[in-house]
């Protein structure tokens, strides 16, 4: 919080370490876990160890969000994004930083898919982690900010899916 309130920019590594804590994954899981039949004490204990699947899911979300919301939140905006932190620390241009984040985004998806294929916990919990990442990818696809501009970016796809579906 001191970074944002004090106008300080953290290093990229400091920023990324905080992505698990500052993501909404734990809040979402608190609401979802009671409805998962296969959730057990072991599953919750597993989540509390911050397993690779959880980290990968939060990173997919963070990378997509930070690239998509960079215009609104970044330089001149309300707070620095991971893109800003990376560009400042490594002397990269915004375009180079975005390219790097697209690469990191793909790597995080690979980690999440690897975890899915090894199923280290319940299938239901892994599906929740996958769905969390899928929503972020859909919302911030191709660097767009569907969270801030849902009418522009999300509504047409929702209409296409529910109002004008493809007949099977």
Neighbours of 144 (CB within 10 A): 18
Q: What is the pLDDT of residues 11-20, one digit of tens each?
A: 888 888 887 7
> What pTM was computed for the model?
0.80
How many domains, the chain?
A: 1
- Residue pair 68/152 in contact (Cβ under 8 Å)? The answer is no
Residue 168 lies in a domain: no
CATH number (domain holding residue 15): 1.10.600.10
Place 120 in a pLDDT band, splitting at 50, 70 and 90: low
Q: Kindly tell me if the per-residue pLDDT of 147 is higher than 70.
A: yes
Residue 51 lies in a domain: yes
Q: What is the pLDDT of residues 91-114, one digit of tens each?
A: 999 889 989 988 998 999 999 999
Q: Which of 137, 147, 145 is nearest to 64 (CA)?
A: 137
| Domain limits for position 100 | 2-162
Q: What is the pLDDT of residues 45-57, one digit of tens each?
A: 888 888 899 999 9
Q: Kindly tell me if the per-residue pLDDT of 8 is higher than 90.
A: no
Structure tokens of 105? 């985004």
């Amino acid at each position: 919080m001191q970074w944002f309130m004090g106008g300080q920019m953290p290093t990229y590594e400091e920023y990324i370490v905080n992505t698990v804590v500052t993501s909404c994954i734990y809040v979402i899981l608190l609401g979802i876990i009671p409805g998962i039949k296969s959730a057990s004490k072991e599953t919750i204990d597993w989540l509390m160890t911050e397993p690779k699947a959880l980290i990968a899911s939060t990173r997919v979300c963070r990378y997509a969000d930070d690239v998509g919301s960079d215009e609104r939140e970044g330089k001149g905006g309300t707070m620095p994004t991971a893109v800003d932190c990376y560009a400042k620390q490594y002397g990269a241009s915004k375009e180079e930083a975005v390219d790097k984040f697209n690469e990191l985004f793909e790597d995080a998806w690979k980690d999440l898919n690897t975890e899915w294929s090894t199923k280290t916990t319940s299938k239901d919990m892994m599906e929740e982690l996958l769905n969390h990442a899928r929503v972020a990818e859909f919302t911030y696809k191709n660097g767009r900010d569907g969270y801030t501009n849902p009418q522009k970016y999300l509504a047409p796809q929702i209409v296409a899916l529910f109002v004008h579906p493809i007949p099977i």
